[in-house]
């Protein structure tokens, strides 16, 4: 395996390591050979035009999609391996969706507690305690008994983040977590993400919130057409992008 | 394969409750989509305004009940026929429980990843849908039971009530399978993905996330089938099972008072059906209001 030859990764293996990732749906290609490494505690922001494969990369990391070719390692374990324990791996990778995907038949605290109860097999008391603590961390303990439809979009997304965090994941994946939100609610979600980043969480965030990228990201990755085109520190990429496609993309998102 | 099955075909076993139930189902789905609704005593009130139909039926039933209570001939008929009520209820309960079990299994099988499982489920559903219920009853009683008892080398001594319950259960199981399938497919894939991304297994995701939500969507349709199943218990008379319709035939035949006998019988079905229908509406409304578990 090639990471063993790389002296930089031999001492501290990357938390997430994606190598030569290919993904196709029938005849359409979503990914055409993506390499991505995320170190422990690193915050990586992935940007790129719609359809460039950003979501697919995230979905391959926790195996919501099975890659056509390539390898994905999380904390040194190859996840797209026949013998991998899928459920155990997924429990260690938190995912936050654009559409929140809260469970509408469960209250906020039950949403957060569901996996604690059924995956970690915690007692009711432990589950309730952890779930409440997580809701406190995202700043809405008073909404514990509210159902998703009684919450604003921002509150729903914060519950979704709490739900993922409750499993104490090693890495958090965010797929456009603020894209479905009304503008006035974006900040409350970004604040939670910023706090999480400051706390040392390993994060891969697909987002076009450049303020967040500047404030929290160690690295920004630009994807286009199923490939990583360019990456670097946010400020550097922002001001001195080498690739024409990257510059073009920045000028497009800045117009809005 | 007998034709492509459109959605409208799902409940060919329909009765007078369908209009109210369809309205209710639609309302429940709409409420679900638009996120909740205020709770009202009867869901039916919401959509159709004041339920005059309910008043009309209640008045009619009251008049029938009054006649039965005050007229000796009717009274005597009712006293004979109501011996069959327990049997009617027993048939309905057991055959519907069997149908729910078969329906869940076949509905899950219908959307399974394994093509063998999918095809077995589909075969069962299409087989049953290709046979009228009346014929189904005879097929089960005279072919299935005889053959199975033959294979097992057992005397063919199952009671007609058991045979009838199995026949009705198999029949409604096929229709409920499509209800379950539709209900499960109505839950957005994001729900399953969220469950799986938390580490829940496929089975856990189905049990704790998809089915509870699907059940709410399906409840009006399940209630509809329950009512139809209750009414079809009257076919028990074909196998001489002593439910109310059979009792009525016996009473009419011995006393030559068919008029009183069927008056009483109609009253029994109509009143029980109405109560069931209202219960289903009320319960679906409660569920879609979101609090009940
Ligand atoms: N389930 C799927 N079936 C077919 N095509 C898909 C599926 N998911 C993604 N794709 C295709 O893969 C490409 C990348 O999609 P996606 O990863 O969602 O892009 P992004 O998140 O960057 O917008 C797109 O062309 C999309 O149409
Ligand atoms: Mg996407």
Report which bound ligand comes closest to the CA of A30. 1
pLDDT at A253: 83
| Domain-embedded: residue B5 | no
Report which bound ligand comes closest to the CA of A53. 1
pLDDT at A159: 97
The CATH number linked to B202 is 1.10.3720.10
| Domain-embedded: residue B10 | no
| Domain-embedded: residue B1 | no
Interface test with B, best of A103, A130, A155 (most B CBs within 10 A): A103
| Domain-embedded: residue B6 | no
Write out pLDDT tens, residues B96-143: 999 999 999 999 999 999 999 999 999 999 999 999 999 999 999 999
| Domain-embedded: residue B8 | no
Question: What is the CA(A52)–ligand 2 centre distance, in A?
Answer: 8
Q: Does A27 sit in the ligand 1 pocket, CB within 6 Å?
A: no
The answer to whether the CB of A15 falls within 8 A of the CB of A171 is yes
| Domain-embedded: residue B84 | yes
pLDDT per position in chain B (293 positions), as tens? 333 333 333 333 333 344 444 444 544 554 444 444 444 444 555 566 788 888 999 999 999 999 999 998 888 888 888 889 999 999 999 999 999 999 999 999 999 999 999 999 999 999 999 999 999 999 999 999 989 988 988 887 889 999 999 999 999 999 999 999 999 999 999 999 999 999 999 999 999 999 999 998 899 999 999 999 999 999 999 999 999 999 999 998 898 889 999 999 999 999 999 999 999 888 888 776 654 33
CA distance B204 to A20: 33
Write out pLDDT tens, residues A56-107: 999 999 999 999 999 999 999 999 888 888 888 898 999 999 999 999 999 9
Domain membership of residue B141 as a residue range? 21-292
Question: What is the CA(A103)–ligand 1 centre distance, in A?
Answer: 24
- What residues of B are in contact with residue A163 (Cβ under 8 Å)? 198
- What chain B residue is nearest to A150 in terms of C-alpha separation? B35
CB pairs under 8 A between A and B: 65
Residues of chain B numbered 273-292 and touching chain A (CB < 8 Å): 290
Tokens 């580490």, residue located: B199
Nearest protein Cα to ligand 1, atom 21? A55
pLDDT at A256: 57
Q: Domain total for chain B?
A: 1
Nearest protein Cα to ligand 1, atom 5? A25
Nearest protein Cα to ligand 1, atom 3? A25
pLDDT at B30: 45
Domains of chain A, each with CATH number or no CATH: 3-103+170-253 (3.40.50.300)
């Amino acid at each position: 395996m090639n990471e063993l030859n790389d002296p930089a990764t031999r001492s501290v293996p990357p938390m997430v390591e994606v190598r030569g990732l290919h993904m196709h749906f029938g005849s359409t290609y979503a990914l055409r050979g993506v390499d991505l490494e995320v170190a422990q505690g690193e915050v990586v922001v992935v940007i790129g035009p719609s359809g460039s494969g950003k979501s697919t990369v995230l979905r391959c990391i926790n195996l919501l999609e099975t890659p056509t070719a390539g390898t994905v390692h999380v904390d040194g374990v190859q996840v797209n391996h026949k013998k991998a324990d899928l459920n155990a791996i997924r429990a260690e990778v938190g995912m936050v969706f654009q559409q929140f995907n809260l469970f509408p038949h469960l209250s906020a605290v039950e949403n957060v507690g569901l996996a604690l109860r059924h995956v970690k097999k915690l007692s009711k008391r432990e589950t309730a305690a952890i779930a409440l603590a997580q809701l406190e961390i995202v700043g809405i303990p008073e909404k514990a008994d509210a159902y998703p439809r009684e919450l604003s979009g921002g509150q729903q997304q914060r519950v979704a983040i709490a739900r993922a965090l409750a499993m104490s994941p090693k890495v958090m994946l965010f797929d456009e977590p603020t894209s479905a939100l009304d503008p006035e609610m974006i900040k409350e979600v970004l604040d939670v993400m910023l706090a999480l980043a400051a706390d040392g969480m390993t994060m891969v965030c697909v987002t076009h919130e450049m303020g967040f990228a500047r404030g929290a990201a160690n690295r920004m990755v630009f994807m286009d057409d199923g490939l990583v085109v360019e990456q670097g520190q946010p400020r550097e990429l922002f001001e001195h992008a080498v690739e024409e496609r990257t510059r073009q993309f920045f000028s497009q998102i800045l117009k809005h | 394969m007998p034709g492509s099955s459109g959605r409208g075909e799902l409940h060919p076993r329909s009765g007078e409750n369908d209009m109210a139930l369809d309205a209710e189902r639609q309302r429940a789905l709409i409420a679900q989509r638009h996120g909740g609704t205020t709770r009202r005593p009867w869901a039916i009130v919401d959509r159709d305004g004041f339920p005059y139909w309910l008043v009309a039926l209640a008045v009619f039933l009251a008049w029938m009940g009054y006649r039965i209570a005050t007229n000796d001939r009717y009274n005597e008929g009712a006293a004979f026929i109501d011996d069959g009520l327990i049997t009617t209820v027993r048939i309905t309960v057991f055959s519907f429980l069997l149908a729910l079990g078969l329906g869940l299994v076949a509905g899950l099988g219908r959307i399974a990843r394994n093509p063998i499982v999918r095809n077995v489920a589909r075969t069962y559903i299409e087989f049953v849908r290709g046979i009228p219920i009346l014929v189904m009853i005879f097929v089960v009683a005279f072919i299935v039971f005889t053959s199975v008892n033959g294979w097992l080398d057992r005397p063919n001594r199952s009671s007609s009530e058991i045979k009838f319950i199995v026949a009705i259960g198999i029949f409604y199981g096929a229709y409920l399978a499509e209800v379950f399938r539709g209900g499960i497919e109505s839950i957005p894939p994001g729900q399953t993905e969220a469950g799986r991304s938390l580490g829940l297994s496929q089975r856990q995701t189905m049990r704790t996330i998809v089915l509870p939500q699907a059940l709410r969507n399906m409840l009006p349709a399940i209630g509809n089938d329950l009512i139809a199943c209750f009414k079809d218990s009257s076919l028990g008379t074909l196998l001489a099972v002593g439910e109310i319709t059979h009792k009525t035939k016996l009473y009419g035949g011995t006393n030559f008072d068919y008029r009183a006998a069927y008056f009483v019988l109609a009253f029994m079905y109509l009143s029980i059906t109405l109560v069931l229908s209202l219960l289903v509406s009320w319960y679906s409304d409660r569920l879609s209001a979101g609090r009940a578990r």
